[in-house]
Each structure stands twice: as C-alpha cells, then as structure tokens.
Amino acid sequence: MKNVHSNSPVFFGWYIVATCFFIAFLTVGVRNAFGIFVIPMSEEFGWTRTTISLAAASGFLINGITQPFLGHLFDHIGGRRVIIVGLILIGICTLLLSLTFHILFMLVVFSFLLSTALSGPSLTNTMALISKWFKRKRATAVAINTVGTSTGGLILVPFAMYFLQATGWRMTWLVLGLLVLLLAVPLAIAFIRENPEALGLLPDGDQEYQMGGDSQRKESDFGEFEVDHWIKSFRTPPMWQLSAAYVVCGVTTGMISTHFVPFAIERGVSPGKAALIFGLMMGLNSLGGIGAGILSDKFGRKNVLAAVYFLRGIGYVMLVCIPSSLGMWAFAVAAGFSWVASVPLTFMCHQVGSFIMVLLAGFLFDLTGSYTLPFAIAGSLLFPAALAAFTIKEKQYSIRYRTPNTGVTTY
C-alpha cells in the first residue's frame, strides 16, 4: 500500500531538516547562553571565576567524551530515540539549573548530565539522520541544519540576557528549559523518522532509485594515508597537524562562548549590548560556514582553514588592543565569519582545547582581575595553528586531487 506521505507536495525529509534546524537553534542556543549566567550566579554564591569556569570547562570535556558513545547508540537503537530522549533530558536538566544552590549541584547537572544529553541531538547525529533522507540534495539539507546553531546564538542569547535582566537568572534557566520541553520535544516526536523507507519514500523524494556509478573502488582510488579504522589515522602526519590546530580552535571558541559576555561587561559594556555583540558573532557563523565551503572547493580545504585561523587571530588582536566597544564589534565580525567555518572532524581535540582554556581563563581572571591575558594567549595561538594547517600537504595526501583512473596527483 502506498504511503500517504508520498502524495505530499513537500518531501517529508524537509520537515525533518526544519525540525533539526530548530533543535540546533534551541540546544546550541541554550549551551551558548551559559556566558550570561557567569556574573549573576558568581555574585549570588560568592564563586570565583575559576569555580564557575570549572563547570563550563568540564561540560565541554564531557560533551566531547560522550559524543562517540551517543553516536554508537544512534547506530544501534536509532536516531529518533537518541534525539528525543536527549532533548527530554536537556529540558529537565535546564529546568533543574534554576534550583542551583551549590557548585557540586552545578557540576552534576550542567557539566555531566546536561552536557551528556547534548550529545544526543548533537549536530553530528542530526546530520547523520538527515544524510539518510538526502543524497543529491544532502549538502543543502546539512547546511540548513548547521545554520540552526548560528541562529540559536543570534536570537536566543540576547533574548535570554533580556529575560535575565527583567526577571533573574533562575527564571531564565526555567524558561530555557521549558522552551526545549514544550517546543523541541513535541516537534521531534511529530517529525523525526529514521529513514524514508519507513514511510514508503525514497531519498530526495525521488520516485525511483537513482543509479550511481561503479561502487567498486580501485587501488588507485585510495588516498596515501587512508585507513580502515580511525585510531590508525593518528599514525599519519596530517592528522597530528590537524589535531593540533583543532585544539587551538577549541581554545579560542570555547573560551569565547563562556567568557566573552563577562569580558565585555568587565570592560564597561552593558549586559544587553554584550549579549547583542555575541549574538552578531554567532549569526555571522552561517555566512562564514557557507563561504568556507565555497572557497574550499576553489582554494583547498587546508588553505581556507589556515585563513580562518589567521582571521580569527586578527580578531583577537583587535579585541585585546582596542579597549572600546569598537574592538568588540570588530572581533565579533572577524570571529563570526571564522567560527563554524572550522567545524572539526577531530571533535575530541576541540573539546580538550575548550576545557583547558575555559578553566585557565577563569583562573587568570581571578589572578589578574582581567581577561586580557587569557584572551591574548588564545589569540597568539591562532597564528601557529594557521601555519600548521597551511603546511599540510593536501594535494599529496587527498584523493580529490588525483586524476581519475590514473592515481596520478595533479598540481
């Protein structure tokens, strides 16, 4: 019997894309909103900046550690279950944060439970789900999903700051949790499905299977350092170069998501304006990600990655050297265009970098009374990271530069 969804004028896969976009909007927005709570929660409980940074840093690390395990569950019990259960736990944990009374409570609820739950509907899992629904239009569908992360920072962080100023930090955590439970969870239940075959559909909404090319790969089709297990990739020089660069990527993005709003407030910017600058930075992610994809096809991935790190480094220089809000706006533009543009494959390295620098930034703030030193350290690391990415011999290692059927590398 033909499924009713096959008669719909809109392919059901696009409803899944829209749902995943909204899930990314809420979940990443909630995670990135942590920075607006740093000062009010620290003031109420008498926490040092190191103390609250420990909660944020541990959250990055736990999220990085648990993503492979949640990905394993995705493969074995299905993406629908993993995403829905993850969203329910995210909503509940966010609600519980409104009851925070001790740093140990914060570490358990935010750093462990919430950060683990965020691995369920993570971008990695939602992209894997979307990939089952699209083949020819996969790049477009995945790009729309990715933009949801940027939109969350653009809209949700300034909204949360406005609400925090109007009501208080406890009510703001409560509202953010309710948004996840009352909006994201019902949408996921209504629209998330494992694959098009479950609804009697084909990928991309096609009426018949599209025949691909020969699936058999010749020996010349394999890259010089292509491996059959991810652990073996760390025996190759390019992986270590990329991993080192991605640690720095985590250093510079993790610290910003946690400490930028407090940094701006400490420099005399109003809380609302600080959240707005952060929101602009997140909003520009979508343009940076799309632009990086286009430029990578023309100039090579490692060259664009190097340029991304260099641009972000210039942004940090302006942030540290220009004490007025002008430096913050300039940084928002430079960092915004170069944030999602470097979404890492070596995600764990990225999160380790975030853990180290988020915690170090809090410690150095307590030690010096300023964020200038940690921001300067993070910015200075971007230039060697750019050099590490630039010196990768991409044309020698990647099969995309080989002439078809010859195995000869083109330069």
pLDDT in tens, 259-317: 999 999 999 999 999 999 999 998 887 777 666 666 666 666 677 778 888 888 999 99
What percent of the chain has pLDDT above 70?
79
Residue 2's pLDDT is: 47
To the nearest 10°, report the CA torsion of 99, 105, 108, 109.
10
Superfamily of domain 10-205: MFS general substrate transporter like domains (1.20.1250.20)
Residue 403's pLDDT is: 52
Whether the per-residue pLDDT at 21 is higher than 50: the answer is yes
Residue 213's pLDDT is: 45
Number of other CB atoms surrounding residue 108 within 10 Å = 15
Lowest mean pLDDT among 39-43, 99-103, 254-258, 386-390: 386-390
pLDDT for 199-257, tens place per residue? 888 888 777 666 554 445 455 545 555 555 555 656 666 666 667 777 777 788 888 88
Per the structure block, which two tokens stand in for 266? 């400490």
Q: What are phi and psi of 367, to 5 degrees?
A: -75, -40
Give the three-state DSSP class for 402: strand
Whether the per-residue pLDDT at 117 is higher than 90: the answer is yes
Residue 8's contacts (CB-CB under 8 Å, 6 or more residues apart) are none
CB crowding 23-57: b at 16 or more within 10 Å, else e: bbbbbbbbbbbbbbbbbbbbeeeebebbbbbbbbb
Mean pLDDT of the region 50-65: 93
77 vs 227, residue with greater confidence: 77
Q: What are phi and psi of 402, to 5 degrees?
A: -90, 140
Lowest mean pLDDT among 34-38, 128-132, 140-144, 355-359: 140-144
| Inter-residue contact 35 to 259 (CB < 8 Å) | yes
The hierarchical CATH code for the domain 232-394 is: 1.20.1250.20
| Inter-residue contact 273 to 161 (CB < 8 Å) | no
What percent of the chain has pLDDT above 90?
49
Whether the per-residue pLDDT at 410 is higher than 50: the answer is no
| Size (the chain), residues | 411
Mean pLDDT of the region 134-146: 84
Cα angle, residue 216 at apex, residues 213 and 220 outer, rounded to 5°? 105
Residue 214's pLDDT is: 46
- The ranges of the chain annotated as CATH 1.20.1250.20 are 10-205, 232-394
